[in-house]
Structure formats: C-alpha cells, structure tokens
Amino acid sequence: MKIFSKFKVMLIGVLWIIAGVPEVYAFSVGGFQVQSKFGEKFKASLEITLDFDGPVEVDIGGLEDYNKLGLNRQDIIDALILDPIESSKGLKKTIKIRSTNPLFFPSFNLVVRTTHNGGTLLENFLVTVDFQQSLALNVHRNKKNTSKLREGKPEPLVDQQKPSQPAEIQQLKKQVSSSPIKSAEAKQPESASRTAASRESNGEPNNSQKVSPEKANIVPPKGIDPVPAKEQVVHRRRASGVIWAHPRPIPELVAAIPSQGSKPPAKKHVLQKGESLFSIARKLKLDKYHPAQIAVAIWMQNIDKFIFGNINGIREGVQLDLQNLDSVLAEIDLGAARGILKSQNVEWDLARNATQVEAETPEKSVPEVPLPSERLEDYADLFERVIGWQTTWENMDIEGHLAYYHDLKIENPFQVRKKRFLSRHPKPHLETSSKMLVMKEGIPLVFFEQKFSSETLNSLGLKELEWTRSQSVWKISGEKFYKNPSHSGQEPLANLKNSSTPEKEEKTTKLSFVIHVSSHANESLAVTLSNRLRTNGFDAYWVPVRISKEIQIYRVYVGRFSDWNQAHRIVRILRKKPFGGHATAIPYPFALQVGEAGSLTEARMLLESLRKSGFSGLLLVSHKDSNGILFRVVIGAYKKTGNATWMLQQLKQSDFVSKLISP
C-alpha cells in the first residue's frame, strides 16, 4: 500500500520561557507501516515520539476530526481497532492498528488523533492499494519513487493530479479500467503541491494545466484514486486553549459528470423486504451526518414502532416518519450514536435468547435499597433557598445573591465572574418554569427553564444549580446555563411574548427523557444493579418488559430529564463507571403514577409498599409557586400509552391505584 500524510494539523500550547524563547517539542507521529495485503485482515503500526515519558492518548479520529481536515469518514474506519500502547521505556511508542475481518477497500483516509503534554496532533494517512507491487509500501519509499518518476515525466493533467474526485467519477474509472495500475503522480513533493494549490485557490490556474471541456469529460483509465476529500475546509475553533493550524488550501474541483438534482427526503417511508435502518440512512443522502447518526435519529423518532422499543426490532411493512430528522440529528454526535447502537445490540441479544425463568423465592430475592432522593431531608429549606436566590437576583441585591454560593474561603473566580455579570446586566427580569430535582452522584441538582431579559442581554435556556450543605445551610456549589434546550416534545417558555398565557402563570417543565442503563434476564440482576446505582447517588429503578406470555426481561432506568442533552450529560458520567458502560438516553414520555403523596413521609411509605409487592418506583420531586412542593411516585417508562397496559393491570391486581401521566 502507499501511505501519504497530508493536511497535518498540530495543536500545541505555546509556552514562553527564559527571554521569550519558545520550547522546542519533540512530539510527533510518523513511521506508519502497513504489514497486511489487500483482502487480508488489516495490520499496521505507527511510531509516536513524545516530549517526555508521560501520559499519551491515541485514538482513531472521529467525525469531528475528519470534518476539521475536510475529509469524509468512511464506514471502513469503524472496523479498525487500536491496540493498547505497549509499556516501554523511552520517548518512542509503537501503536498497532488492526481489524478483525479482512478489508477489501481500495483506499481510505486514516486519521489518528494523539494527545500529549497539552498538545494534540491530527495526522491523516491516505492508504491506497498498489496492485503491481507490494501491497505495503512505507512513506519513505513512496517519496523516493515519486521524485524519480516526476523528473522524467511532464506535469499531469488536472483530472490526473487532483487527489479528490467525486464518487461517480471513481466508479466510472473502476468500470473502464480492466486492471488498475499505479499512478505516478499519486504523491507530489510538498512544495509543488502547495504552489499549485495556492495558484488555484487565488483564481490563477496554471496555464499548462488547462483542459478543454471535451477532454474534461473523458475519464482516463488510471489507477484507483484516493477517497474524495471535502472541497471546503470547515472553520477552526479554539479548543482547550490551543489553536488549530490551517492545512493547505484544497483546490476547486469541476466534476466531469453533470450532477443530478437531489430530491428532498420523503416524509414517510415504508420498510421494504431486505431493508435496514442503515440502508434507509444512506438513501437519504444527508452528507453532513454519518449513517449511524441517521439510523439512531430514525429510531428515536419512531421508537414505538420497534419490537420492545429496540433499534433492531424492525420489520418490513412498518411506516417510518422521516420528518424533522435534522432537529434530532443536531443533538446526536457520532460517539453517542455508536454507544446507543452497542447498548441496543446487547439488549437485543438478551431478548432473543431469553428463556422462561422460574419465579424467584422471597428467600433468594434481593431486597431493594431506598432511593437517594428518599434519604434527602429538608426539601422545604432547599426550594426556599432556590426562590431566595432568584429574588435577590431580580432585586439586584448582589451581596445577598452571592451569599447563596458556596464560600471557598479564598478568592473564588466563579463569584468574581458572577459579580461582573450582575454589574454588566442590571435591572434583570427572570421568568422560570417549575423547579425539578434530580440526584447526580448524591448531589441534588435543581433545574428549570429560565428566560432572562435586561437592557443589555436576553437569553433563554436550561439552568442547573448544584446544592450542597455547608454548616447546615444549602449552598450552590455549581451553576450551569445551557442556551435554547429544544426537542419536538417540549415547549415550555417558548414564545412567551406572543403567548396568550397570563405572564404570572408558571410554566411546567416536561420530563420526557430517561436513561436506559442496561437490561437483564432475571429480576435479581436488575435489582442488584439498581441498588448499586442508588448507592452511588443515582435515582435508579427497574421495570419488567414483557417479551411473550411466559418470558420477560428487566430494564434498569435512571431518573427523568427535560431533554436529550441533559440526559446525555448524566450518561457521560455513567459510562465512566464500571456499571454504566451501555447507558443511553431515550425519549420515553409516559409513566404510571401510583397514588397521591402529600409529603415526603407519605411518599416513602408508598415506595416501601411498592417494594414489598415487587415493584420499583421513582420519586419525582418538584416545586411550583402555586402548589408548593410536589411528591410523585412513578413506575416504568414508556414511548406510547399502549405499552403501559400490562403494568397497569399488574398494579391493579396488587391493589395499587395508578394512572398514566406524561411527567
């Protein structure tokens, strides 16, 4: 194979030391070697030179990394695996890259992301097949051979020289060429390519490279071209205090084949025999997103049409709603989509292989421990502090407002920024929704939707306040504001100026999302995991899911959240735990509310009664100015009302009064 490295982006924080002289770093990536051949399991290695013998993180580039380099990320990249870095002394480390299955791709861009000593390297290796010589050629041999070939040959034509071409042209080349041959101009000296690229980018093409329209439409039967790169470079943003360098400009490319007008995606699609979510995703031609992201978005929007609500439980003849996919896709990055697919595959395998399990005897059953929210005291004091925090802000009582924050007994940068914000935006007006509470690793998190307006600033978003006890008084230990939370099933505080609702009426925060942690074949495993999550400070609960008349599995959920982004922030915490690797945020807007609880004591008694009857409940605590503190005990999480029918009957048989709600 021929390996090229281009569009190299290096991220380093510049450190100025004695006399303003910058430190010289040895951090670099190179020595890329491919040992496998075409049609074999991929096997390659690369060397990393470190600044010092310290920690280093290496990973295959994600979609965001490819976008920064102006490249398309092919599905074949998902088949590649990075082996752990071998422990060895010295500044040079060897990284091995492999695949579990044979690869038959003629070319692909492999981006490797390396982080070390405060800097990040994005290195792109263009791997192509040489069908005439050895299928594994190193970088140095490519450079040497290329230079010799260029000395004795004229400049190539435009369509031969440019490495990125549309997929349609590459397909025609494969059809015309009976036996691919090696292209002598596959790799150019860097200076020449930079000069040519800069001329074309400045609108001054080289006269020797002009091609008539008739010749431009002739596709030469040359060898296999590299994977086409995007023809524009996305804007670089600063990240973690380091600056993205700009790669060489990419010249404009005129397609030799007229492009056909792309049709907008259909609003509805009936699944045909042999189709899958991925085949539908590719047909939609949403180039901005990976097929995995599109498949997950389709599932989230049509989850009630899947067997057991699982992404693999789809059958032909089902009509899928494909409208407004962009709003869902905007919230799902590629990493989250892959995590969802992995967790759904685990549950699907469990559901397919589930067998009838004998009922567990009381002696063998695992007792359920109380929820973290059950053990919390002084809810009245906590919500009173939240109201006081809001009132002092509106009254511009800066000192009184800052008194609600945790005092670190040293100069607190957060308080300094808060004081500066209050002074810059005087005479504020706040409109908030009902206050909701969720437990995050044992810390109560109060959240609500907030509309802020002043003479200098207007904002709308989700406010989260973390509270901890300091000398028997609730203090704010963390504050976050997330602008414009949005989801199709949620409209609190939207268009307040045009709303006919009285201004003083408080809006209700909808809790349409839950976190699905895992699924299990028997109840005791589900209860054990639920207890472990509760012990670690998460409001976890489990619910049986009926597969057939005799068989059921058990799902473990955590909490309820206002939108996908908020739920996914907790998902990221759970995935770092040994018990939450498959956690996934899912839109399940319905639940069963059991009874009425007028106080925390009544809620505790109701939850304990449910536990004794074999049910697992969740305590929802909220505050509304008109009603005060509200305690609700709910069971389960459902996409549509019909899914809750069986559990509703089970509760009725156990003499529990319940009703379907949308919390």
- 544: domain CATH number? 3.30.70.1070
440 domain residue, yes or no: yes
Please give the residue range of the domain that contains residue 596.
510-661
The region that residue 638 occupies, defined by phi over 0 for left and psi between -120 and 50 for alpha, beta otherwise, is beta
CB 577, CB 570: distance < 8 Å: no
Give the pLDDT score at 488. Answer: 35
pLDDT digits (tens, 9 = 90+) for 590-637: 999 997 788 899 999 999 999 999 999 999 999 988 888 999 999 999
Do both 432 and 525 map to the same domain?
no
DSSP string, 515-578: EEEEEESSHHHHHHHHHHHHHTT--EEEEEEESSSS-EEEEEEEEEESSHHHHHHHHHHHTTST
pLDDT digits (tens, 9 = 90+) for 639-649: 888 888 899 99
248 domain residue, yes or no: no
Binning pLDDT at 50, 70 and 90, where does residue 52 land? confident
**Which element (helix H / strand E) includes 380?**
helix 379-394
191 domain residue, yes or no: yes
Do both 464 and 343 map to the same domain?
no
Does pLDDT of 266 surpass 70? Answer: no
Give the pLDDT score at 519. Answer: 83
Please report the beta strands in 214-373, taking only residues with DSSP state E, as ranges in sequence order: 268-270, 319-321
Do both 76 and 176 map to the same domain?
yes
Does pLDDT of 44 surpass 70? Answer: yes
Do both 212 and 288 map to the same domain?
no
Do both 33 and 147 map to the same domain?
yes
Per-chain mean pLDDT for the chain? 72
In percent, the amount of the chain with pLDDT more than 70 equals 67
Of the candidates 562, 580, 165, 174, which has an alpha carbon nearest to the alpha carbon of residue 342? 580
Do both 466 and 552 map to the same domain?
no
Binning pLDDT at 50, 70 and 90, where does residue 37 land? confident
Q: Rounded CA gap, 236 and 585, in Å?
A: 29
Check the CA dihedral 562-568-572-577 and report its sign.
Answer: positive
Query: What is the CATH classification number for the domain harbouring 43?
Result: 2.60.40.10
Do both 145 and 293 map to the same domain?
no
C-alpha angle with apex 210: 209 to 214, nearest 5 degrees? 125
Q: Rounded CA gap, 505 and 257, in Å?
A: 60
Q: Which of 319, 353, 387 is the last residue of a domain?
A: 353
204 domain residue, yes or no: yes
Give the pLDDT score at 408. Answer: 56
Q: Which of 353, 371, 405 is the last residue of a domain?
A: 353
Give the pLDDT score at 425. Answer: 76
Do both 12 and 151 map to the same domain?
yes
Give the pLDDT score at 217. Answer: 46
398 domain residue, yes or no: yes
When divided into structural domains, the chain yields a total of 4
Do both 548 and 649 map to the same domain?
yes
Give the pLDDT score at 304. Answer: 66
Q: Rounded CA gap, 140 and 32, in Å?
A: 10
In percent, the amount of the chain with pLDDT more than 90 equals 19
Does pLDDT of 374 surpass 70? Answer: yes
Of the candidates 120, 138, 140, which has an alpha carbon nearest to the alpha carbon of residue 69? 120
Q: Rounded CA gap, 291 and 306, in Å?
A: 19
Binning pLDDT at 50, 70 and 90, where does residue 353 land? low
Query: What is the CATH classification number for the domain harbouring 399?
Result: 3.10.450.50
Do both 26 and 168 map to the same domain?
yes
Q: Rounded CA gap, 325 and 312, in Å?
A: 19
208 domain residue, yes or no: yes
Binning pLDDT at 50, 70 and 90, where does residue 385 land? very high
Both tokens of 263, joined, read 């049709």
Give the pLDDT score at 160. Answer: 38
Does pLDDT of 264 surpass 60? Answer: no
Do both 333 and 277 map to the same domain?
yes
Give the pLDDT score at 317. Answer: 78
**Residue 261 CB neighbours (<10 A):** 4
Give the pLDDT score at 635. Answer: 94
pLDDT digits (tens, 9 = 90+) for 116-147: 876 788 888 888 776 554 444 334 333 334 33
338 domain residue, yes or no: yes
Q: Rounded CA gap, 508 and 496, in Å?
A: 13
Q: Rounded CA gap, 212 and 5, in Å?
A: 32
Give the pLDDT score at 559. Answer: 94
CB 550, CB 587: distance < 8 Å: no
Exposure string of 379-404, with b = 16+ CB inside 10 Å and e = fewer, is beebbebbebbbebbeeeeeeebbeb
Does pLDDT of 13 surpass 70? Answer: no
Do both 34 and 165 map to the same domain?
yes
545 domain residue, yes or no: yes
Of the candidates 645, 599, 637, which has an alpha carbon nearest to the alpha carbon of residue 617? 637
